């Protein structure tokens, strides 16, 4: 797999970026309630609550979506190795969360995951597979920890776990589908624009978190 320099292929589609960036900033500023690099406090439920968790937090949603989008952009085996690696490593973070092992900076890590993954898509960063999987793995631990920390408090923890893993996987699949579709339009420029947009959104979560 080729690994071109980051900067040599890093120009965003300028027209698209000009159009969408102000709109994105406006959307993010008008939705402060969505700033939830969230480890939910209080009572949690079963399957539906677990399913809802990655969907209800924009931070999780964007990062998961980026995993699929990045995989689709890289193409080849990355289309499936990345969405497979993510839940498998997420378990490690989940188990750490269940065990109550204190890890600092989880919410910062989640916000960074959006920035890095969005940036990787925007700059069309195609590192060797092992590097991309390592990047995914680090962030998967952060997201898994956030989910896992809630599990023991859930009314039905087992079904809660099933719910959030299935939802996470479905968001990956949505990312792959959108990514594969966008790759056919204007040489993947739309994917890059979307990645840039999401990456910028990550800065908001970093500041708000």
Partner 1 sequence: MSLASHLPSRSVLLGLCLLIAAGLAGIGMSALPVLQFGGTYADWPLSSVVNPQQLLTLAGLGLLIGQMGMTADGQVPALRRASVSAPRLRWIGCAVLLVGLGLGLAWREPILRLLAPIPGAEVTGFLTGPIAGLLTGLALVLPAGWRARLSLTLILPAAALLALATALSDPTLHAANYMRWALATELWIIAVFALVATLVRHRAAITGGRILASWMIAISLLYGGVEVAVRKTAIAVPYPPVSDSGAYPGFDSLLRRLDGEGN
Q: Which is nearer to partner 1, 20 or 61 (CB)?
A: 61
The residues in 112-151 that bind partner 1, with binding defined as CB under 8 A, are: 148, 151
* Shortest reach from residue 48's CB to partner 1, in Å: 11
Angle (CA) 74-133-185 rounded to 5° is 15
Residues that bind partner 1 (rule: CB under 8 A) add up to a total of 30
Q: What is the residue whose two structure tokens read 């480890």? A: 39
Give the ranges where the chain is alpha helix by DSSP (H). Answer: 14-29, 47-56, 58-74, 78-99, 106-122, 129-148, 157-183, 189-208
* Shortest reach from residue 80's CB to partner 1, in Å: 5
Is 179 an interacting residue with respect to partner 1 (CB under 8 A)? no
Interaction pattern, residues 46-85, with partner 1; x per rule: CB under 8 A: -x-------------------------------xx--xxx
Burial environment of residue 45 by CB neighbours within 10 A (0 to 12, 13 to 18, 19 or more)? middle
Distance CA 94, CA 161 (A): 9
The residues in 148-167 that bind partner 1, with binding defined as CB under 8 A, are: 148, 151-152, 157-163, 165-166
Dihedrals φ, ψ of 46, to 5°? -110, -135
By the criterion CB under 8 A, which residues form the site for partner 1? 47, 79-80, 83-88, 90-91, 94-95, 98-99, 148, 151-152, 157-163, 165-166, 169, 172-173
């Amino acid at each position: 797999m080729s690994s071109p320099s980051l900067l040599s292929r890093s120009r965003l589609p300028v027209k698209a970026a000009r159009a969408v960036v102000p709109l994105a900033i406006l959307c993010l500023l008008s939705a402060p309630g969505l700033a939830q690099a969230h480890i939910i406090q209080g009572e949690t439920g079963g399957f539906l609550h677990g399913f809802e968790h990655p969907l209800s937090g924009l931070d999780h949603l964007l990062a998961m979506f980026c995993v699929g989008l990045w995989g689709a952009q890289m193409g080849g085996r990355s289309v499936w190795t990345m969405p497979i690696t993510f839940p498998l490593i997420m378990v490690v973070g989940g188990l750490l969360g269940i065990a109550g092992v204190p890890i600092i900076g989880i919410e910062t890590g989640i916000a960074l995951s959006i920035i890095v993954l969005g940036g990787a898509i925007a700059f069309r960063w195609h590192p060797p597979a092992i590097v991309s999987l390592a990047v995914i793995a680090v962030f998967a631990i952060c997201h898994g920890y956030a989910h896992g920390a809630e599990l023991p408090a859930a009314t039905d923890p087992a079904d809660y776990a099933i719910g959030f893993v299935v939802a996470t996987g479905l968001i990956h699949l949505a990312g792959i589908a959108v990514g594969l579709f966008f790759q056919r339009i204007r040489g993947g420029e739309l994917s890059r624009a979307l990645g840039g947009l999401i990456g910028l959104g990550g800065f908001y979560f970093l500041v708000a978190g």
